[in-house]
Amino acid sequence: MGIARTRGVVLIGVEGVIVDVEVDLAEGVVGTTVVGLADRGVTEAKDRVRAALVNSNERWPAKRVTISLSPAWIPKLGAVTDLAVALAMLAADGRLPAVVIDDTVVLGELGLDGVVKTVRGVLPAVVAAAHAGFEKVIVPAANVDEACLVPGVEVVGVESLAHARAVLAGEAAPVEPGGTVIGGAAPNAHLRPVPDMEDVIGQPLARRALEIAAAGGHHLFLHGQPGVGKTMLAERLPGLMPALPIAAALEVTAVHSVAGTLDVDHPLINTPPFEAPHHTATLVSLVGGGSGRPTPGAVSRAHRGVLFLDEAPEFARTVLDALRQPLESGYVSITRSGFAARFPARFQLVLAANPCPCGIGDQRGVGCRCSPMQRRRYAQRISGPLLDRIDLVVQTQPIDRAQMLADDAVGESTAVVSARVAQAAGRMTQRLNGYPWLANAHVPGAMLKGRGALGVDPVATRWLREASARGTLSGRGIDKVLRVAWTIADLAGFERPGIDEVAEAVALRNDSFRTAA
């Protein structure tokens, strides 16, 4: 009789849970049993492991084999425990010293030929191992760079089951990382090309709103005729935003690791991501979920970055309204039988829309072929509660040919604007130091209306109260105005917002998209 144990990791959302992988070989009727609330992908592991062992010149013991995955109450999803089961099998059969895997976390899926395949979610799995006190992790060769993003853990990269056995026996060397290693030093991340603001002609108001959005983390809605630069502006927002600090970069990388969208050669994502789903996107593709193991949707892949919905009124109403909860909470919770997966979703939302379905008319309807009812229905596809959560609502203006061909048509570059944004973000970060909020857009309204360090000038607050009494600002809308006013003050280098900053923030909540309908 032989028994051996190692550890694996299963993912619930982007959180890793350590699992004990035990293999027991006993005399009796020959057969294999897998216990521990395993899904079909895990129960099929015995067949994959059997073929991998045989094709690696090892043997499958002719005994009663029991494979246990505990704790038993956690659902085991996917094939990430294949390599752990195979190594525990070798140790239980006396082909490998049990001590070399007892305090090791093993990740990897096996091919029938014994090759260790790439798996998703290696970064959060290694983070979970480090938090649990494990110092050694075995991962597929293709995931070595990703695993090395976690400092303080010995990462052993293996190419096949035979290679893993040889490494553990001291007969071969593991796969070395390719260079993207943090360990407290500056990461060697891949620099992705960034579109330049110089490409955008005209639109001074929209450019100003984009700069404010980048500096303070505000949501933005651009509406106007087709071809005036709404999409171009949205695509340039990530380039204006500050680079992600290392903690945020690891959060973003973990989400994309679970989603399977990481670049294996440059796994660390330290620039704000940009997601632009098509208007036919389903609810599951946007917020996440799916059958079996839930996967992150577009809102989570845009975490710490930008979610851009072009032709926003063309999205299904239920899909748009599903954004309201993550916009407020910063996460998405997906419940399944026996567990709940939670994905981070702290993104900046950018919406773009034409003035009407035909897109020809201006905001007054001049030249439009749509009926008043069609215009009204088109505008009402973006619900009032969702629009109320948008900080900046800006109407883009038509651009004539003369303006496009003018010598001074080229505006400020991304480098110039991002430098101002970085200075404003520095002031914001210094002011919010000691608070749990990362940007002006996240500060609660109660803090903005007080007399503390985050309060607006009392004279400006009184002016806003009087202005809101004559307008249509809701309570949430007033808070949005105060947050935007703080960002305007940060860009200007002022100590706190005054009447001018509050007035500009009110002007940047142009509601003509709905009122024109």
Give the tens place of pLDDT for each residue, 75-95: 777 667 899 999 999 999 999
What is the average pLDDT across 261-287? Answer: 92
Q: Is the pLDDT of residue 363 over 60?
A: no
CA torsion 399-404-410-413 (nearest 10°) is: 50
Provide the pLDDT for residue 23: 94
pLDDT confidence tier of residue 228, bands split at 50, 70 and 90: confident
Q: Tokens representing 421?
A: 């944004």
What is the average pLDDT across 169-191? Answer: 63
What is the average pLDDT across 148-157? Answer: 94
313, 355 Cβ separation under 8 angstroms: no
Provide the pLDDT for residue 513: 65
Looking at every residue in the chain, the average pLDDT score rounds to: 87
Q: Backbone phi, then psi, for 64, in 5-degree steps?
A: -80, 115
Q: Is the pLDDT of residue 183 over 70?
A: no
Q: Report the candidate in 12, 108, 103, 5 with the shortest Cα–Cα distance to residue 52.
A: 108
Rg of the chain taking only CA atoms, in angstroms: 27
216, 440 Cβ separation under 8 angstroms: yes
CATH-assigned architecture of domain 197-515:
3-Layer(aba) Sandwich (3.40)
Percent over 70 (pLDDT), the chain = 90
Provide the pLDDT for residue 398: 80
d(CA 315, CA 125): 35
266, 279 Cβ separation under 8 angstroms: no
Q: Is the pLDDT of residue 24 over 90?
A: yes
265 versus 123: which is more confidently predicted? 123
Q: Tokens representing 28?
A: 């009796």
The CA distances from residue 460 to 444, 448, 467, 479, 503, in Å, are 18, 12, 10, 13, 9
The CA distances from residue 63 to 25, 27, 258, in Å, are 6, 6, 36
* End-to-end C-alpha distance for the chain, whole angstroms: 78
Provide the pLDDT for residue 511: 64
Provide the pLDDT for residue 406: 59
**Candidate from 17-26, 102-111, 475-484 with smallest mean pLDDT:** 475-484
351, 309 Cβ separation under 8 angstroms: yes
- Work out the number of other CB atoms within 10 angstroms of the CB of residue 41: 18
d(CA 418, CA 404): 24
What is the average pLDDT across 434-438? Answer: 87
Provide the pLDDT for residue 364: 56
Q: Is 447 exposed, middle or buried (0-12, 13-18, 19+ CB in 10 A)?
A: middle
Provide the pLDDT for residue 402: 60
What is the average pLDDT across 25-39? Answer: 86
Please write the tens of the pLDDT for every residue from 440-499.
999 888 888 766 778 888 888 888 887 777 666 777 778 889 999 999 999 999 988 989
Provide the pLDDT for residue 180: 43
- Within the chain, which residue ranges are assigned CATH 3.40.50.300? 197-515
411 versus 189: which is more confidently predicted? 411
What is the average pLDDT across 371-388? Answer: 87
Q: Tokens representing 164?
A: 């893993």
- CATH of span 2-168: 3.30.230.10
Q: Is the pLDDT of residue 46 over 60?
A: yes
**Candidate from 46-60, 161-175, 408-422 with smallest mean pLDDT:** 408-422
Q: Report the candidate in 463, 456, 513 with the shortest Cα–Cα distance to residue 484.
A: 456
d(CA 239, CA 458): 35
Percent over 90 (pLDDT), the chain = 56
Q: Residue 414: in which H helix or E strand, if any? A: helix 414-431
**CA torsion through residues 495, 496, 497, 500, sign:** negative
The SS3 assignment for 410 reads strand
Provide the pLDDT for residue 362: 59
Provide the pLDDT for residue 184: 37
Q: Tokens representing 440?
A: 């002006």
The CA distances from residue 169 to 8, 67, 228, 320, 339, in Å, are 20, 23, 65, 55, 38
- Within the chain, which residue ranges are assigned CATH 3.30.230.10? 2-168
pLDDT confidence tier of residue 365, bands split at 50, 70 and 90: low
pLDDT confidence tier of residue 310, bands split at 50, 70 and 90: very high
Q: Is the pLDDT of residue 435 over 70?
A: yes
Provide the pLDDT for residue 72: 81
